Amino acid sequence: MLSCNFKLLGRQVSIFILLSLLSSTVFAQAYTSKTSYTILGIVKSSSDSTGISTAHIFIPNKVIGTVTNSAGEFELKIPSDISPVELSFSAIGYKLNTILVNTDTIITIFLDESIYQLNEIIITGNKFDSASYIFDTAIDRIKFNYPRKPHLMEGFYREISMKDTIVGRLIEAAVLVQESGYTKEFFKGKALEETKNRIKVVELRKSDDFMEYDLMGKIYKLLLGEKNELYMTLRKNYVRAFDTNVEQYMLSYENLKKYDMHYIGQGFWGNEIVYILSLSIPQVFRVEKIRFYINKTDFAFVKIEKTGVPGKNWEGSGVNLIEGKYFDKAEVTYRKITNRYFPTFIQSIQSAYGASSTATLEDKEVKQFTNSVLLLINIYEDDFSKIKWKEVESQNEDLYTKDTPYNESFWNNFNTVKNNPLKRVPNELEKEKSLEDQFKRKKN
């Protein structure tokens, strides 16, 4: 998680059910007509009362839930026809906690820490041992643990462009994501197959743009074209490998032959036990630091974290690093639904594309970057309307340039990612006009 001042509140709706969606029209109707009650709260560690980031809040056996922000805060809207209901709270390294809710509630939840085995051992690829067996088996079972047939996912997307800790631009969208699923078997030593995604934006709203742009950024975009950050964020679904990035090699048997794998230990993920492994992939000027969380029962990847940090040959300054520490960061979390694992939360933090690498803030040079969050909120594997090609968003077009009518009633009822503190981001964008006025005036 990014720990700058704006902080994301509630990473809203990691997964929740929208009843029966058959088209984008129904998508909007489901939110504008549905009543709900709200659970607002914070998840803390019982050992020191600190907030737990990326803790999952969900209804067992349903697709309803959310994820906490970096301070442990969350907000979840539950359809009124689901009451009373059990809410479960889980995080890697903590025991599961469950409560009963039936109305608007403000709560504080404490989770007991439960990493019962921490035993960091370096495992090399030349040895057949527990770490290599865990990693090999997890890759082997991707074709069983993740969906292989076409499916449709609904999601909420937020893209925040930052000037250090100051927000420069905000985009929010309700989206549909159609995946083709796997169509080939996997073979040792080969990259996993890329699936062909179709993305449709159903609703969109955006602020004014306060980012700084320079000639170099314009030349960069002219030569390489525009880029849709939504597609780039979806590519962090690492069990779907892509052809040209380090992600292609991250889930590869070859990694065990080239690099040292670290067995960190075991911990709880809800009621399940997970293995924790780490891997470092050195490149010319950077090192990819990767951590895998693998379910002990079925060997599914339940969470993958990747951070690109400076390598020994890098000679740049801290101002060119996000938070003065890293080049980029990403994570993806999966949850088991209908006997398959689907991504529920994807985050990508990287340099702002097309904008100047740094900006001047209070006479100080600061880093400009983009924090993108995609929460997939409902899944359809059988009966769903396919996204038509004419509705598909371009991968080579900045989502900010898209024009759609601003549907205020939709956003008033739609579960979105809240900011932490609640008023932090709006206040920074509202120096000249309110965020709501920006949404309306732009007509998107």
Under the banding of pLDDT at 50, 70 and 90, the label for residue 216 is: confident
What is the spatial distance between Cα 329 and Cα 331, in angstroms, rounded to a whole number?
7
Q: In this predicted structure, what is the pLDDT of residue 19?
A: 27
pLDDT at 35 over 90: no
pLDDT at 205 over 80: yes
- Residue predicted with more confidence, 425 or 231: 231
Q: Which of 351, 389, 343, 384 is nearest to 369 (CA)?
A: 351
Residue pair 76/36 in contact by the 8 Å Cβ criterion:
no
Largest CA distance in the chain: 62
Q: In this predicted structure, what is the pLDDT of residue 14?
A: 31
pLDDT in tens, 132-156: 888 888 988 888 899 888 889 988 8
What is the spatial distance between Cα 442 and Cα 17, in angstroms, rounded to a whole number?
31
Note the pTM of the prediction, 2 decimals: 0.82
Q: In this predicted structure, what is the pLDDT of residue 306?
A: 94
**What does pLDDT average to over the chain?**
77
Identity of the residue numbered 83: S
Q: In this predicted structure, what is the pLDDT of residue 322?
A: 92
Under the banding of pLDDT at 50, 70 and 90, the label for residue 189 is: very low
Average pLDDT value for residue range 340-367: 86
- Residue predicted with more confidence, 378 or 401: 401
Under the banding of pLDDT at 50, 70 and 90, the label for residue 44 is: very high
In our burial notation (b when 16+ CB lie closer than 10 A, e otherwise), range 319-345 reads eebbeeebbbbbbbbbbebeebbbbbb
Peptide bond into 426 cis (omega under 30): no
Q: In this predicted structure, what is the pLDDT of residue 54?
A: 79
